[in-house]
Amino acid sequence: MRAWYSADTPNPAKRVQFDRPLTPWLFLLPQLAVVVIFFYWPSVQAVTSSFYIEDPFGFGSTFVGTENYTDALTSSQYASTAMFTAFFCVMVTGLSLGIGLLLAVKADKVIRGAATYKTLLISVYAIAPPVAGLIGMMFFDMHIGPLTDLAAFFGHDLRVGINYWDTAFALITISVWKQIPYNFIFFLSGLQSVPVSVREAALIDAQSGWRRFCDVTLPLLAPTAFFLLVINITYAMFDTFPIIDVVVKDKPANNPITLVYKVYLDGFKGNDIGGSSAQSVILMVVVAALTVLQFRFLERRVHYG
Residue 113 has a pLDDT of: 59
Per the model's pLDDT, the better-predicted residue between 138 and 298 turns out to be 138
CA atoms of 198 and 57, how far apart (whole Å):
65
Query: Taking 60 as the threshold, does the pLDDT of residue 111 lie above it?
Result: no
Neighbours of 246 (CB within 10 A): 20
115-136 CB burial, b ≥16 within 10 A, e <16: eeebeebbebeeeebeebbbbb
149-164 CB burial, b ≥16 within 10 A, e <16: eebeeeeeebebbebe
Cα angle 113, 188, 217 (rounded to 5 degrees) comes to 120
User: Stretch 15-43: mean pLDDT, rounded?
Assistant: 82
- pLDDT tens for each residue of 12-25: 555 556 677 788 88
- 63, containing H or E segment: strand 61-63
Q: Across 109-123, 169-183, 282-296, which has the greatest mean pLDDT?
A: 169-183
Give the range among 12-16, 79-83, 130-134 with minimum mean pLDDT: 12-16
Pairing of strands 52-54, 61-63: antiparallel
Query: Taking 80 as the threshold, does the pLDDT of residue 132 lie above it?
Result: yes
pTM: 0.83
Do residues 62 and 53 make contact, with C-beta atoms less than 8 angstroms apart? yes
Residue 5 has a pLDDT of: 46
Sign, Cα dihedral of 245, 140, 131, 97: positive
User: Stretch 80-100: mean pLDDT, rounded?
Assistant: 95
CA atoms of 177 and 48, how far apart (whole Å):
38
207 exposure class (CB count in 10 Å sphere: 0-12, 13-18, 19+) = exposed
Which residues make Cβ contacts (< 8 Å) with residue 237, sequence separation at least 6? 85, 89, 258, 259, 260, 283, 287
Do residues 164 and 171 make contact, with C-beta atoms less than 8 angstroms apart? no
User: Stretch 132-145: mean pLDDT, rounded?
Assistant: 88
Give the range among 2-16, 32-46, 157-171, 176-190 with minimum mean pLDDT: 2-16
Number of residues that make up the chain: 305
User: Stretch 128-136: mean pLDDT, rounded?
Assistant: 89
Residue closest to 185 by CA, chosen among 111, 240, 116, 125 = 125
